[in-house]
């Protein structure tokens, strides 16, 4: 006899919370105004002239990039942050987004109702490499 699959109450609560909050991330991104938070931000920086399109042989951006990093307020802030971050500054496993994820993993059988009947292994692949075409005379 075939019985319908019924999710347990914890799953239903999680699903309802997800539905209630699903627009928050998109709303934050869509309402973001970089000029209000990034010093010197412009939609038409002079550096945009370096981009010649996907078929361009490329331009050496090392010198202009280094100059911008070292002279702009945003670049100086990034550099200062990197230099002043302690080497042992790592995410805490007690942080809610990490600990709750680990708890969910540990309680997988509770979420699935105590078993994995009907579950099927699925192949997973990960994009690990990319290829960049470099024209003669230019190096990455």
Q: What is the pLDDT of residues 23-55, one digit of tens each?
A: 777 777 888 898 898 888 888 888 777 777 777
The pTM assigned to this predicted structure is: 0.34
SS3 of residue 85 by DSSP: coil
Q: Is 6 left (phi over 0), alpha (psi -120 to 50) or beta?
A: beta
Structure tokens at 106: 């540990």
pLDDT value of position 80:
93
């Amino acid at each position: 006899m075939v019985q319908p699959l019924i999710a347990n109450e914890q799953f239903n609560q999680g699903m309802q919370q997800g539905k209630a909050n699903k627009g928050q991330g998109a709303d934050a991104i869509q309402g973001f105004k970089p000029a209000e938070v990034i010093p010197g931000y412009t939609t038409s920086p002079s550096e945009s002239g370096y981009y010649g399109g996907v078929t361009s042989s490329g331009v050496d951006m090392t010198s202009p990039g280094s100059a911008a990093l070292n002279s702009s307020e945003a670049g100086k802030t990034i550099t200062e942050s990197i230099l002043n971050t302690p080497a042992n500054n790592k995410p805490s496993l007690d942080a809610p987004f990490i600990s709750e994820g680990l708890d969910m993993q540990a309680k997988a059988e509770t979420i699935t109702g105590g078993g994995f009947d009907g579950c099927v292994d699925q192949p997973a692949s990960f994009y690990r490499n990319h290829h960049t075409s470099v024209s003669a005379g230019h190096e990455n």
